[in-house]
């Protein structure tokens, strides 16, 4: 007989550890990185500084930031062999290419199996820089262009846009991309960071744990919504069509992309920083209709906010990427570029007080079956 | 103020779902696959039949088994591009190469993002066959030999040994390798299968979830002990040295490799099938000393069995691999070859009644920190 046990399906209500890195307070829509509100960081900080804060636990002095930024810039190049691997599988989904290339980087990492704090941190800084290079290089290769060398005069966000699109972005655009990366950096026990921790908990190496994170982020229940929002905006086409479009969706009982979140019951605090950027960018690009359409969708959806179905981060990030001329199938990869340093932070935290993450399954299958020879089966 | 919550570190006592695939009964040392005792399967079944049982839920008729075996054999080849990728990173750890090559296979899989049961099963059968080919091909390439084409006259275990070592194994050896793969196939909620489920729970694709599994298996707390046992046997060198060696280990408070298990408090039921195989193989290879040494270690360790520190599966599998002439750094990869179909089984089960696996972290970091401009930090 099977003893009945309490099941925690999805583990939604189970705390598996303490953290000092990020805190998602879903009911009031707050996101905290190491004690700092995401709004302060998005408005006042830079991506480099925020990554430093997350990896080292405190905001850097100018000297510390300079050293860290220098290390990041110096790490951007990827081995020619990894570029060859990317070219070999160039027609695959960008997330499959990113996952494969990150995995291959392990082959060129002399400290690959060193799970000490120092080595993991060194490798973590490097892979955070390299992830952006992989995504950009893959895109160049698949459109028949030569991958561009990183430009060390540009910061992480600016250099990524340059390597991806072949043009140095202006300051506003660089800043907007930096904000986007800041707000996507970490998010409590999200599924992909948790999966990366499970891998790290066996004392597997950093590259393996980051690969796990990227594998997990690819799933539509996790990383996949920004793509859908812009598809919706394109389907709507004009802000005069918003009401009819939403009414049709409601009638057919279909979900509206970019609304609702597993944790937030209030407005996703990450959305507002991309909303303003999207507005400015749409004006600048001479395509204000996308901002108008999405604003109207947001306005029409306001009544649902009371039921906790609010705008999420994907709602505005999709239009930002679109206006920057980034193809839709790269949207998750940009999320990944921002989240890779977040995985590093959580992997470091897991290693610091490691315990193997191994929950239980309740066996409810058959018992004591007798093995019959194959001739006797029918 | 932080509300105090109950922490489940390691999730050791938490049941996250039901399963019908395998059942580990640690206190009495039993392992069940879909109702059948592992002893029956190891003694009477074949790897192909056991994989069928696990994937489809029931033992096959002869006709079903023939069809399944045919599909497995037909799936062994890997694209030339993946062979090129393997060659590009041939000097990396075999698990890093396996992880990268499995990830790259996604680029050649037309159904890659189809998470339906049927597509996942089709891809799962294919990747189970291909994993063995990758490990063998990589080894051939790194020793400067051409990878061998799969031989469809051989079964899965026999063909793997043939592709790896360049010689068709005899029937006893093929059977022993088959047993080894059977006992390593699945093992309840082990860390790597759990990680694969987390990835699958975002509706990510099979390849990503299997890559997660392999990334996680690589960790020394999970897949890495078979290597250590044979190192120990080589260090001991002669069975006359066993007592002195163990006494030294005890004095220095060091662990004896191949003993103890996270779940088993009795003898690991997987060990006995490899023990007998190791004995016969050692005789045949004219190297009986390894079996004698390990038997004596086992005997000397018997008093610890009362405290639940018993022989585990790695204790005997390492000597089997060694006697077959397989290099030590491939031991985990062989574990992976056996476990990949196990991941497929658990991924299918996760997809069947999916819920996003997303436990919680308790934030214990600082609160309400004020962002100071960088010039004011010191």
* pLDDT tens digit sequence for A61-108: 999 999 999 999 999 999 999 999 999 999 999 999 999 999 999 999
pLDDT-derived band at B199 (thresholds 50, 70, 90) equals very high
Query: What does DSSP say about strands A30-33 and A36-37: parallel, antiparallel, or unpaired?
Result: antiparallel
For residue B4, the model assigns a pLDDT of 74
- The tokens describing A108, both together, are 């060129």
Q: What is the pLDDT of residue A3?
A: 61
Q: Kindly report each contact of residues B236-242 with a partner whose C-beta sits within 8 Å and lies 24 or more positions away, as own/partner.
A: B236/B293, B236/B297, B237/B293, B238/B289, B238/B293, B239/B289, B239/B292, B239/B293, B239/B295, B239/B296, B242/B293, B242/B296, B242/B297, B242/B300
Number of Cβ within 10 Å of residue B253's Cβ equals 6
CA-based nearest residue in chain A for residue B368: A35
Assign residue A226 a region (left: φ > 0; alpha: ψ between -120 and 50; beta: otherwise): alpha
Which range (A266-280, A345-359, B30-44) has the least confidence?
A: A266-280
Cβ contact, residue pair A188, B363, below 8 Å: yes
Cα–Cα separations (whole angstroms), residue B298 to A259, B229, B258:
60, 11, 9
Domains of chain B: which residue ranges?
Answer: 22-221+331-352, 225-323
Tell me which residue of B142, B98, B170, B167 sits closest to B339, measured CA to CA: B98
Residues A133-143 have pLDDT tens digits of 999 999 999 99
Q: What is the pLDDT of residues A210-247, one digit of tens each?
A: 999 999 999 988 886 677 888 899 999 999 999 999 99
A227 has a chain B CB within 8 A of its CB = no
For the stretch B166-195, pLDDT in tens is 999 999 999 999 999 999 999 999 999 999
pLDDT over 50 (residue A1): no
Judging contacts by C-beta atoms under 8 Å, the chain B residues touching residue A80 are: none
Alpha-carbon distance of B123 to A40, in angstroms, equals 46
pLDDT of residue B225 exceeding 80, the answer is: no
Window from A220-224, A279-283, A309-313 with minimum mean pLDDT: A220-224
3-class secondary structure, B279: helix
Confirm whether A273 is a catalytic residue: no
- Residue from B2, B90, B99 to probe the interface with A (highest A Cβ count within 10 Å): B99
Q: What would you report as the CA-atom Rg of chain B, rounded to the nearest whole angstrom? A: 22
Residue found under tokens 């108008």: A292
CA distance to A45, A77, A112, A183, B174, per residue, from B40 (Å): 63, 54, 41, 54, 18
| B173: Cβ contacts below 8 Å, ≥ 6 apart | B161, B281, B324
- Touching check for B3 and chain A: CB below 8 Å? no
In terms of pLDDT, which residue wins out, A182 or B255? A182
Q: If you average pLDDT over every residue of chain A, what do you get?
A: 95
ipTM of the complex in this document: 0.97
CA distance A289 to chain B (A): 32
Pick among A66, A81, A263, A365 to test the B interface (most B CBs inside 10 A): A365
CATH of the structural domain B22-221+331-352, one choice from 1.20.1050.40, 2.40.110.10, 1.10.580.10, 3.90.120.10: 1.10.580.10
CB A160 within 8 Å of CB B178 = no
In this chain, the answer to whether the domains covering B22-221+331-352 and B225-323 adopt an identical fold is no
B23 touches chain A (CB under 8 A): yes
Q: How confident is the model at residue A261 (pLDDT cuts 50, 70, 90)?
A: confident
Q: Is B114 helix (H, G, I), strand (E, B) or coil?
A: coil
Q: Is the model's pLDDT at B206 over the cut of 70?
A: yes
Return the residue of A nearest to B6 by Cα.
A15
Select the CATH number that applies to the domain covering B225-323 from these four: 1.10.3720.10, 1.20.210.10, 1.10.230.10, 1.10.1580.10. Answer: 1.10.230.10
Q: What is the pLDDT of residue B3?
A: 61
What is the percentage of chain B residues whose pLDDT exceeds 90? Answer: 86
> Which residue in the list A156, A187, A207, A261 is annotated as catalytic?
A261
| pLDDT value at residue B1 | 46
**Euclidean distance between CA atoms B318 and B295, whole angstroms:** 13
Residue with the larger pLDDT of the pair B252 and B255: B252
* pLDDT for residue A85: 98
Which among B18, B96, B200 has CB closest to A361?
A: B18
Q: What is the pLDDT of residues A23-53, one digit of tens each?
A: 999 989 999 999 999 999 999 999 999 999 9
Residue B109 clears pLDDT 50, i.e. is over it: yes
Q: Which distant-in-sequence residues (6+ apart) come within 8 Å of B248 by Cβ?
A: none
């Amino acid at each position: 007989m099977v003893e009945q046990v309490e099941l925690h399906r999805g583990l939604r209500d189970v705390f598996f550890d303490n953290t000092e890195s990020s805190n998602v307070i879903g009911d009031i829509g707050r996101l905290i990185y190491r004690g700092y509100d995401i709004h302060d960081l998005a408005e006042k900080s830079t991506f480099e500084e925020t990554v430093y804060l997350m990896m080292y636990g405190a905001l850097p002095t100018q000297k510390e930031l300079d050293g860290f930024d220098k290390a990041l810039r110096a790490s951007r190049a990827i081995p020619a062999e990894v570029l060859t691997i990317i070219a070999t599988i160039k027609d695959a989904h960008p997330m499959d290419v990113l996952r494969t290339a990150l995995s291959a980087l392990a082959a060129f990492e002399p400290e690959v199996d060193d799970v000490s704090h120092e080595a993991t941190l060194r490798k973590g800084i490097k892979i955070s820089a390299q992830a952006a290079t992989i995504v950009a290089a893959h895109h160049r290769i698949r459109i028949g262009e030569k991958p561009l060398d990183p430009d060390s005069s540009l910061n992480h966000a600016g250099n990524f846009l340059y390597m991806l699109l072949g043009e140095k972005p202006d300051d506003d655009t660089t800043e907007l991309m930096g904000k986007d990366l800041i707000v996507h950096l970490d998010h409590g026990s999200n599924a992909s960071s948790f999966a990366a921790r499970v891998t790290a908990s066996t004392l597997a190496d950093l590259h393996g744990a980051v690969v796990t994170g990227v594998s997990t982020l690819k799933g539509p229940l996790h990383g996949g919504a920004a793509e859908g929002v812009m598809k919706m905006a394109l389907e709507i086409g004009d802000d005069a069509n918003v009401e009819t479009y939403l009414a049709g969706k409601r009638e057919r009982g279909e979900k509206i992309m970019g609304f609702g979140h597993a944790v937030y019951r209030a407005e996703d605090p990450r959305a507002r920083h991309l909303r303003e950027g999207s507005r400015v960018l749409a004006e600048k690009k001479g395509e204000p209709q996308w901002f108008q359409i999405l604003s109207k969708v947001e306005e029409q959806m306001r009544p649902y906010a009371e039921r906790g179905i609010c705008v999420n981060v994907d709602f505005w990030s999709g239009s930002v990427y679109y206006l920057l001329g980034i193809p839709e199938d790269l949207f998750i990869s940009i999320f990944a570029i921002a989240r890779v340093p977040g995985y590093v932070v959580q992997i470091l935290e897991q290693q610091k007080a490691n315990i193997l993450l191994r929950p239980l399954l309740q066996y409810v299958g058959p018992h004591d079956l007798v093995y019959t020879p194959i001739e006797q089966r029918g």
